[in-house]
């Protein structure tokens, strides 16, 4: 059973990554670009450890962060930095925390819980989708989106009324939702 689950998770991870970037069949190394300029944020950051999650949502992280199992982070986490959809500067500012796995048709196949004392959102247009954030969420940036497939098992606080007005809350919040 563990072998089958491992294959399913590996397949889903591959599907997630396939939708996030492509090398158009080019398997040659890029020797024209110095190593320090290599773009490491073009694909999803798939994490299963607290430190990896914290790094992935930092200013130096990726535009999309996915977890493939329940994850507990024992310290406060800040989602920071400006990112664009699929890391394409021509696209809208966008960031996503994916708390789920999906099939090839983008149907959610499993949802996960991210447990954190406090999650502070400083990245504009952050979307939380497909699972549960267990802990309080503090939103300081415009355009926060809690997808209908997501839950905040805790309180949702906004830095001010303008930030709250720019948010789209289709998911469930078990605690208070207010400006604080």
Location of structure tokens 């889903």 = 12
Paired strand residues for 145:
127, 168
Q: What is the pLDDT of residue 43?
A: 61
Q: What digits encode the pLDDT tens for the residues 7-17?
A: 344 444 444 44
Average pLDDT over residues 24-45: 43
Q: What is the pLDDT of residue 91?
A: 94
CA 80 distance to own-chain centroid: 12
Cα radius of gyration rounded to whole Å, the chain? 17
Q: What digits encode the pLDDT tens for the residues 65-80?
A: 999 999 999 999 999 9
The edge-to-edge listing of strands for the beta sheet with 168-169 is 45-47, 64-67, 95-98, 126-129, 145-146, 168-169
| E strand spans, the chain | 45-47, 64-67, 71-72, 77-79, 95-98, 100-102, 108-111, 113-121, 126-129, 132-139, 145-146, 151-153, 156-158, 168-169, 172-173, 177-179
């Amino acid at each position: 059973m563990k072998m089958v689950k491992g294959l399913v998770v590996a397949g889903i991870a591959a599907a997630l990554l396939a939708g996030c970037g492509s090398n158009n069949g080019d398997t040659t190394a890029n020797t024209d670009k110095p190593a320090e300029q290599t773009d490491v944020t073009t694909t999803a950051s798939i994490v299963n450890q607290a430190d990896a999650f914290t790094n992935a949502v930092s200013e130096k992280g990726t535009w999309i962060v996915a977890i493939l199992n329940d994850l507990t982070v024992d310290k406060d986490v800040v989602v920071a930095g400006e990112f664009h959809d699929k890391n394409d500067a021509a696209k809208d500012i966008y960031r996503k925390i994916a708390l789920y796995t999906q099939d090839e048709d983008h149907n959610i196949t499993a949802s996960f819980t991210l447990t954190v004392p406090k999650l502070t959102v400083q990245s504009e247009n952050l979307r939380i989708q497909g699972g549960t954030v267990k802990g309080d969420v503090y939103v300081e940036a415009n355009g926060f989106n809690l997808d209908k497939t997501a839950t905040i098992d805790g309180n949702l606080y906004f830095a001010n009324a303008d930030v709250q007005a720019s948010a789209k809350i289709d998911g469930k919040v078990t605690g208070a939702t207010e400006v604080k």
